[in-house]
Structure 1
Amino acid sequence: MAKWGEGDPRWIVEERADATNVNNWHWTERDATNWSSEKLKELLMGLRVESDDGMCEITEFSKVEGEASINNRKGKLIFFYEWNLKATWTVHAI
Structure 2
Amino acid sequence: MAKWGEGDPRWIVEERADATNVNNWHWTERDATNWSSDKLKSLLLGLSVENEEGKCEVTEVSKCEGEASINNRKGKLIFFYEWNLKATWTGKKTGLSRSEVQE
Return the TM-score normalized by structure 1.
0.93
Shift of 1:82: 0.8
Partner of 1:43: 43
Match of 2:76, as an amino acid? K
Counterparts of 1:14 and 1:66, CA distance in 2: 35
Tell me how many residue pairs correspond in the alignment. 94
The list of structure 1 runs, each at least 4 consecutive aligned residues, that deviate by more than 6 angstroms after superposition, is: none
Segments of 5+ residues of structure 2 without an aligned counterpart are 95-103
Q: In the alignment, what sits opposite 1:3?
A: 3
1:54 and 1:23 map into 2 onto residues whose CA distance is 52
| Residues 16-41 of structure 1: CA deviation (Å, up to 9, x unaligned) | 21111111111110000000000000
CA-atom RMSD, angstroms? 1.1
Give the percent of matched residue pairs that are identical in Structure 1 and Structure 2.
84
The TM-score normalised by the length of structure 2 is: 0.85
| More strand per residue | 1
Give the Cα–Cα distance (whole angstroms) in 1 for the partners of residues 44 and 67 of structure 2: 17
Distance of 2:93 and 2:6 partners within structure 1 = 69
Unaligned 5+ residue runs, structure 1? Answer: none
